């Protein structure tokens, strides 16, 4: 029973100190406790571990999907579909800013599939984490690109590709860790949707009006 109390963050110094002391000497031959222990060890732990494995598999395959679909998005506007809508969701030139769009639609599509197949109940927490993942991928693309070009004093095509690959891996690892915690906080859905809207607005605005900054210059 002590194990159960610790797992539920009761502990001897927690907010339920009296409850901890009450069950400290609880007898293991109590029928109610035996049933609970069977449920916890045989069913709950097994179910939780199974879901963790499924989540890990989905995040790993998500890396592959984001890399392949991101490569497709790179050529969507220039070689396949030159339209206003395509210019918003896909790169229209070789600037750093435009390459931030690579994982935008792929992550959205993969997240929809992941949410439905894993039957995730907390939609607010899921949207919040996935939006943060998108921002992390964008930040990683910018950071890694400027880091390696600062070191080499030039940009290389193969390193540009690896920059995107590493950014996707970082984002998916972050997503797995955060979704594994299953901690839903108030207002996460609202914050997630707001951040998503700001990202869509920025992509739309700076597709047609690009400031004279290094981030928007064609490399």
What rounded mean pLDDT belongs to the chain?
77
pLDDT per position as a tens digit, 110-121:
999 998 888 777
Q: What is the pLDDT at residue 196?
A: 92
Domain boundaries, the chain: 50-216
Distance CA 57, CA 51 (A): 10
Percentage of the chain surpassing pLDDT 70?
Answer: 75
Q: Is the pLDDT of residue 46 over 70?
A: no
Bridge partners, 218 (sequence order): 95
Q: What is the pLDDT at residue 32?
A: 53
Distance CA 213, CA 210 (A): 8
Is residue 1 a contact partner of residue 32, using CB atoms and an 8 Å limit?
A: no
Count the residues in the chain.
Answer: 219
Distance CA 6, CA 162 (A): 43
This prediction's pTM:
0.71
219 pLDDT band (50/70/90 cuts)?
low
Range from 2-16, 75-89, 148-162 that averages highest in pLDDT? 148-162
Tell me what the mean pLDDT of segment 24-37 comes to.
Answer: 49
Bridge partners, 95 (sequence order): 218
174 pLDDT band (50/70/90 cuts)?
very high
pLDDT per position as a tens digit, 80-125:
787 888 888 788 887 888 888 888 889 999 999 998 888 777 888 8
Q: Is the pLDDT of residue 193 over 90?
A: yes
59 pLDDT band (50/70/90 cuts)?
very high
């Amino acid at each position: 029973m002590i194990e159960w109390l610790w797992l539920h963050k009761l502990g001897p110094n927690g907010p339920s100190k009296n409850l901890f002391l009450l069950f400290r000497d609880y007898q293991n031959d109590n029928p109610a406790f035996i049933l609970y222990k069977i449920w916890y060890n045989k069913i709950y732990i097994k179910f939780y571990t199974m879901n963790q494995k499924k989540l890990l598999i989905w995040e790993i395959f998500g890396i592959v999907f984001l890399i392949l679909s991101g490569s497709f998005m790179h050529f969507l506007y220039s070689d396949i579909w030159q339209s206003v809508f395509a210019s918003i969701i896909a790169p229209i030139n070789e600037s750093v800013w435009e390459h931030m769009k690579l994982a935008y639609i792929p992550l959205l599509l993969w997240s929809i599939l992941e949410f439905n197949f894993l039957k995730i109940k907390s939609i607010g927490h899921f949207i919040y984490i996935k939006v943060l993942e998108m921002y992390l991928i964008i930040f990683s693309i910018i950071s890694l690109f400027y880091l390696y070009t600062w070191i080499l004093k030039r940009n290389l095509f193969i390193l540009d590709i690896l920059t995107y690959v590493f950014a996707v891996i970082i984002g998916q690892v972050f997503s797995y860790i955060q979704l594994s915690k299953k901690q839903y906080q108030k207002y996460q859905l609202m914050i997630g949707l707001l951040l998503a809207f700001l990202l869509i607005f920025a992509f739309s605005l700076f597709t047609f009006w690009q400031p004279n900054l290094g981030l928007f210059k064609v490399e």
